Amino acid sequence: MTGLLRFIEKVDMLLVLIVKPIVVVISLAIALMLSYGIFSRAVLGTPVFGLEELILMGAMWLYMLGAVLASRDRTHLCADFVQVATDNQRIISFMHLLATTVSLFMAVMFATWSYDLMVWGLQKGQTTTVFHLPWYLSQSSLFVASTLFIFYLIRDFCHDLQGFCQSQSR
């Protein structure tokens, strides 16, 4: 399992080098587009048609990649009420393992659904109204994120399994 974790660490370093700059660029682009849209509408009196389409696409990717970074750092929302209820490390380790297993199962289900949605979008060829951007551009963010969730949940599962096995040997 240590070899798998080392491999995951190397892939993780590469992913962070790719994802973090993308998040920064998308954030800046959305902020600039929103500012320009507000300025154009309020000061110039001319709305910018299609700007909402671009902001929506960027926001979908920003939200999904932000969720991936939260999953990577394990800073997503969680309710660790078990640690309040007990000091027994075995129970705590087991509950962490159980929660990660359920999350992994749900991520696989989400990946399946998002893949189907992306393929459906490719087949239907739906596009946005103004720029005629294909809808699968934003739909693919769901699939990419769910795939990366699975990657990080496998890492978390391995860590939680090690923690559980160590708590059993004490």
- Return the pLDDT at 3: 83
The predicted pLDDT at position 167 comes to 79
H or E element in which residue 104 lies: helix 89-124
User: For the chain, how are helix, strand and coil distributed in percent, rounded to 5?
Assistant: 80, 0, 15
Helix (H) or strand (E) holding 78: none
What distance in Å separates the CA atoms of residue 159 and residue 100, rounded to the nearest whole number? Answer: 10
Tokens of 114: 């998002």
Domain total of the chain: 1
Query: Which token pair is 47?
Result: 């709305």
Average pLDDT along the chain: 90
Q: Is the pLDDT of residue 170 over 80?
A: no
Please calculate the CA angle 126-128-132 and round it to the nearest 5 degrees: 90
Q: How many CB atoms lie within 10 A of CB 145?
A: 23
Phi-psi region of 48 (alpha: psi -120 to 50; beta: other; left: phi over 0): beta
Cβ neighbourhood burial of 87 (10 Å; 0-12, 13-18, 19+): exposed
Contact 148, 104 (CB under 8 A): no
Provide the residue range defining the domain that includes 115: 2-169
Q: Which residue is associated with the tokens 């939200």?
A: 63
The answer to whether 59 touches 140, Cβ cutoff 8 Å, is no
pLDDT in tens, 3-35: 888 999 999 999 999 999 999 999 999 999 999
- The model's pTM is 0.86
